[in-house]
């Protein structure tokens, strides 16, 4: 009898990733988000005409292994760098890859002004509600009650203020043409998020204006939860405030 053929997802590299090796934590959602981003770029046949602008966070390690032209931005500045790249090279498809600390703390003004100006670029936000790379500190998107390294008793509205629900904020701006918020907590969520990425890039290719895809990603290390509990913890916390769905499509 033939042995069943077992496939591990790690053996199936997306076309635009040169190595499956990385040092992100087990259960991290960022590699999944990156995979569907790369698959989308490949499926749209635009690998050679795409420029990515990468922020600073755990996902930045992938800069070494992506087979796409990349520019490394300073923390939070990716939307402004992307603006410059797109204005100089309007035929390129330009995206940013940023975390919530990068986009919503360090660089909030960058993304808001880029969206308000209606720059024809696509921002991809990996939102895990913590500064993952530097140890799991609270960010502007951490939700009330969320334990982080700097809010061990849970985020307290009286003391820390309320989270910024960035996708909704950007959707209110006239210059934003497409805003979607998905996650990678389940196979269905991954499929829906991938469709959002395709729509965002199609929005840019139709020159309709700014697009944002926010992806809620698991960070079991920063959340102090067992690896396997990452998806359910996300569903009970971040996903209750940063509600998934298409927030704007023009
Ligand atoms: C100007 C500046 N401030 C702070 C840092 C330190 N720093 C590097 S990564 C990081 C956390 C990034 O968090 P986030 O953007 O949420 O990405 P994640 O690691 O969670 O994916 C910080 C604060 C830096 N590199 N530059
Ligand atoms: S700290 Fe969090 S975001 Fe960073 S690699 Fe680990 S699980 Fe992923
Ligand atoms: Mg983060």
CB 221 near ligand 2, within 6 Å: yes
Evaluate whether 100 touches 141 at the Cβ level (below 8 Å): yes
From the CA of 92, how far away is ligand 2's center (Å)?
31
Q: Give residues (CB < 6 A) around ligand 1.
A: 30, 56-59, 75, 99-102, 106, 126, 128, 130-134, 139
- pLDDT tens-digit map of 55-73: 999 999 999 999 999 999 9
pLDDT in tens, 76-126: 999 999 999 999 999 999 999 999 999 999 999 999 999 999 999 999 999
What per-residue confidence (pLDDT) applies to 145? 97
Residue 100 Cα: closest atom of ligand 1 = 16
- Kindly report the average pLDDT of the chain as a whole number: 95
Q: For 122-169, how does the pLDDT look when each residue is reduced to its tens digit (9 = 90+)?
A: 999 999 999 999 999 999 999 999 999 999 999 999 999 999 999 999
Smallest CA separation from ligand 1 atom 2, residue: 75
Task: Give the position, in ligand 1's atom list, of the atom nearest the Cα of 98.
Answer: 15
Name the nearest CA neighbour of 58 among 186, 179, 218, 195.
218
Which atom of ligand 1 approaches the CA of 58 most closely?
19
pLDDT band at 9 (very low <50, low <70, confident <90, very high): low
Please give the residue that has the higher pLDDT: either 238 or 3: 238
% of the chain residues with pLDDT over 70: 96
Residue ranges of domains in the chain, CATH in brackets: 30-132+165-216+243-249 (3.40.50.970)
Helices (H), the chain: 30-43, 78-88, 100, 108-116, 157-160, 166-171, 187-205, 220-223, 230-236, 238-241
143 CA to middle of ligand 3, Å?
Answer: 13
Going by pLDDT thresholds of 50, 70 and 90, the confidence category of residue 185 is: very high
Ligand 1 centre distance from Cα of residue 99 (Å): 8
Task: Give the CA-trace dihedral at 149, 150, 156, 161, to 10 degrees.
Answer: -130
173 C-alpha vs ligand 3 centroid, how far in Å? Answer: 23
**Start-to-end C-alpha separation, the chain:** 55
Q: Quote the pTM value.
A: 0.96
Taking residues 202-209, what's their average pLDDT? 98
Do 166 and 154 form a contact (C-beta atoms < 8 A)?
no
Q: Is the predicted pLDDT of residue 18 greater than 60, yes or no?
A: yes
Ligand nearest to the CA of 133: 1
What Rg do the C-alpha atoms of the chain give, in angstroms?
17
Band (1; pLDDT cuts 50, 70, 90): low
CA 230 to ligand 2: nearest atom: 7
Atom of ligand 1 nearest to the CA of 30: 21
User: What's the pLDDT at 8?
Assistant: 66
Does 222 contact ligand 2 (Cβ within 6 A)? yes
């Amino acid at each position: 009898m033939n042995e069943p053929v077992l496939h591990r997802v790690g053996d199936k590299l997306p076309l635009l990733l040169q190595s499956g090796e990385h040092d992100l934590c087990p259960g991290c959602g960022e590699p999944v988000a990156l995979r569907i981003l790369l698959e989308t770029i490949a499926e749209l046949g635009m690998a050679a005409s795409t420029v990515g602008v990468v922020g600073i966070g755990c996902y930045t390690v992938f800069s070494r292994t992506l087979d796409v032209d990349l520019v490394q931005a300073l923390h939070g500045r990716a939307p402004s760098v992307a603006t410059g790249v797109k204005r100089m090279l309007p035929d390129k498809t330009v995206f940013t890859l940023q975390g919530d600390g990068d986009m919503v703390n360090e660089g909030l003004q960058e993304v808001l002004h880029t969206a308000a100006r209606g720059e024809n670029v696509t921002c991809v936000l990996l939102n895990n509600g913590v500064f993952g790379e530097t140890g799991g500190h609270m960010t502007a998107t951490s939700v009330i009650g969320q334990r982080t390294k700097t809010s061990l008793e849970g985020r307290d509205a009286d003391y820390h203020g309320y989270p910024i629900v960035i996708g909704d904020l950007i959707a209110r701006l006239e210059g934003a043409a497409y805003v979607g918020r998905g996650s990678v907590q389940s196979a269905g969520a991954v499929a829906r998020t991938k469709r959002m990425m395709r729509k965002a890039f199609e929005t840019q290719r139709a020159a309709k204006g700014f697009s944002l895809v926010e992806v809620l990603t698991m960070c079991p290390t920063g959340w102090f939860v067992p690896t396997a509990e990452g998806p359910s913890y996300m569903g009970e916390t971040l996903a209750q405030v940063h509600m998934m769905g298409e927030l704007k499509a023009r």
